[in-house]
Chain A
Amino acid sequence: MKPSTASSSLSRQRLRSAWLFLAPMLLVLFAVAAWPLARTVWFGFTDASLDRMGKASWIGFSNYLDYLDYGNGTGEYFGLLVDARWWRSVWNTLRFAFVSVAFETAFGLVIALVLNRQFRGRAFVRAAVLIPWAIPTIVSAKMWAWMMHDQFGILNDMLLRLHLIDAPIAWTASPETAMVAVLIVDIWKTTPFMALLILAGLQLVPGDVYEAAKLDGIPPVRLFRKVTLPLILPAVLVAVVFRALDALRVFDLVYVLTPNTDATRTMSTFARENLFDFDKFAYGSAASTLLFLVIALITISFINLTRMNLEDGE
């Protein structure tokens, strides 16, 4: 046993005060994040109903998977894990997240590169670009719903006048275009966010790197690929993770633009529908739990795949 030295007692003391300072935040986090999450997970294993929550009783995994024996040697599996509607929602969400984040990253990168140059009115443009991001999603979704209306919508009117289409498109109505409509609005709304995060990364690239490249006469495309991109990649990846997390729990946009259709139902709208519209609070809780697991799994594997190091800035 080592005798306690002055330094270790000091470090113990520092550790104690660190915990002391962290305690309020941990308490709040526990109250608003951990506790509700735990409750949701628990409700997923019960037969709870929204207006009879006190009377919920444990039923094990039945909400996830249950075998109903018809008593004549045949039977059928029920539950979330074999619910085609749920898997359709998962697929819709993944597709939405992948496509929207891909476009937003590409557009965001282009906008960030432009905004990183010196030009007159740059401050104004930087602020203006943020407007779609600043509008509440509900408002922009409703706004777009009107713009995409098949009869009075401005979008169809413009496309018709440009002779790009010869009949108005029912953007939010037909199953083929419903997802496209949701994607358009999301990309319009969230590209500024990506641009902003990537711009922050770009501004950290030291100017002398470019000066040196200029002296060596490196062409711009090559400069971008070999110098800029590797330097901003960590920032871009962090932005992508943020956005992907956000996109995987997309709710408001779908809820306003195209509620209740199979073509765009996402994991979150599926959970809400069961929690509140249907008398299936427990089933909805089970869906919320799976939603949490799916997002956690995707995030962890993304971080591992890209070997992102969140511990320090290296």
Chain B
Amino acid sequence: MRHYARILAGAAVAAFMASSSIAAELSIVHGAVGKDNEVLRAELDRFEAATGHKVTIVSMPESTTDQFGQYKLWLSAGAGDIDVFRLDVIWAPQLAEHFIDLKEPAADTLDQYIPSTLAGQTVDGKLVALPMFIGAPALYYRKDLLEKYGEKVPSTWAELKATAQKIQDGERAAGNNDMQGFVFQGAAYEGLTCNAMEWVASYGGGNFVQPDGSIEINNPQAAEALKMAASWIGTISPKGVLNYKEEDARGVFQSGNAVFMRNWNYAYALVNGDDSPIKGKVDVSTLPSGGEGLKPAATLGGWELAVSKYSKHQTEAIELVKFLNNYENQKERAIVTSRPPTLTAVYSDAEVGEKQPFIPLWKPVLDGTLARPSAAAKRKYNEASSEFWTAVHDTLSGNGTAEENLAKLQAKLTRLKGSQW
């Protein structure tokens, strides 16, 4: 009996020591848009309450291109200040060596994930990051305006242009001079790559680097797609769209000054939020296609959580990553921030379906998303993407024709690739 008591006492002391010595200070870095920061903070508060660790959020600018530069700098310096990084879906191949393999630590939960989301984060057999949420674009439209003008949701880009033009002209004639037909992400950065990939693919023009690494972007379908997009500038889209990122586009759309918007899922919860002037007037659909018989395309986005190899608290950081990706938190994000979850089960959750009907509907779209060629272009992906967005941005701003810019792009990508990516 005394022996038993001693064991108990010993266990209590051990538990006490463990809980006091484990209490770690962690840092998580992410680039927030919309309500990301508030929701993450709330989740971290729950994590802190449950474990006793402290977690600080380090915020980054909105532009993913800027985030990447900073992360790469920190990681190359081997800085241990940040324990958990929120990574863009395309970064795993470029940053793999700086993160720990999550295959073992997360083994118990891996079968709950949508398999394709894990495949994208696996580099040479190493699971670099755990998918936090998926990003897929939607065509946001003002259902009140479509109804008013007796138009239906466009299924091709040409229809979108005609509808946008009609409503824009009508609304401007009625006194709203600020009305725009269509806003999207046209600034020269990674976001334009996502937008333009959708245009090109929906016209059957392939990708700027094909999955097998070959380069066939200089084709008539791609040129047609870019010409279409260039024809929007100054007609249905303001010239300023050439420097819009996600939040600029949302700003215009949410203040009621645009008929259509291409944006990621996060915007849905915001444009339909209580403080939104267009609450209840917005619906979403898949993006249009290039024409009859062509399929629309949606670029796969999304964010992943990775644990830095240089972290001094790897065990706790893994715990945090798994906590943030658990069912309850994914469900909360799906409802509050309209972020599509990475766990299969959340899609069939009744509460999610009721509060955010758009999430379950998105499942089929997610299954057919278009991945950016980060796996094919490897460490040269950023440069390849930059060449692509430059060619597109030039075409949109009238600096050379689509054909000229695509021919140049083809040559530049071929040179960049060299003998192999």
Contacts and interface: CB of A to CB of B under 8 A. Distances in A.
Contact of B243 (A78, A152, A173, A278): A173
B216 interface: no
B327 interface: no
B38 interface: no
A53 interface: yes
Given A152-B251, A168-B238, A279 B188 contact: no
Interface in A146-192: 149-152, 168-170, 172-175
A279 B383 contact: yes
Contacts of A150: 238-240, 243
B276 to A, nearest CB: 16
A175 B243 CA distance: 10
Interface residues of A, number: 28
Contacts of A168: 238, 240
Given A51-B75, A150-B239, A260-B188, A277 B63 contact: no
Interface of A is mostly: loop
A83 to B, nearest CB: 11
Given A51-B75, A259-B189, A261-B393, A173 B382 contact: no
A272 B178 CA distance: 37
B173 interface: no
Interface string A283-313: 0000000000000000000000000000000
A51 B72 contact: yes
A276 B70 CA distance: 8
Contact of A277 (B69, B98, B394): B69
A50 B76 contact: yes
B241 interface: yes
Interface of B is mostly: helix
Given A51-B76, A260-B188, A170 B239 contact: yes
Contacts, number: 90
Interface in B237-251: 238-244, 248, 251
B240 A276 contact: no
Interface in A63-121: 78
B56 interface: no
A174 B97 contact: no
Nearest to A175: B397
B65 A277 contact: yes
Contact of A272 (B69, B98, B189, B379): B69
A280 interface: yes
Interface string B355-395: 00000000000000000000000011011001001100110
Contacts of B244: 173
Interface string A34-56: 00000000000000011101000
A277 B386 contact: yes
A173 B239 contact: yes
Nearest to A274: B383
Given A51-B98, A276-B69, A258 B243 contact: yes
B399 interface: yes
A262 interface: yes
B286 interface: no
Nearest to B244: A173
A151 B240 contact: yes
A131 B188 CA distance: 32
Contacts of A262: 390, 394
B243 A172 contact: yes
24 contacts: A50-B73, A50-B76, A78-B415, A150-B238, A150-B239, A151-B238, A151-B257, A170-B238, A170-B239, A170-B241, A170-B242, A170-B243, A172-B243, A174-B239, A258-B243, A259-B65, A261-B188, A261-B393, A262-B390, A276-B69, A277-B65, A277-B69, A278-B382, A280-B383
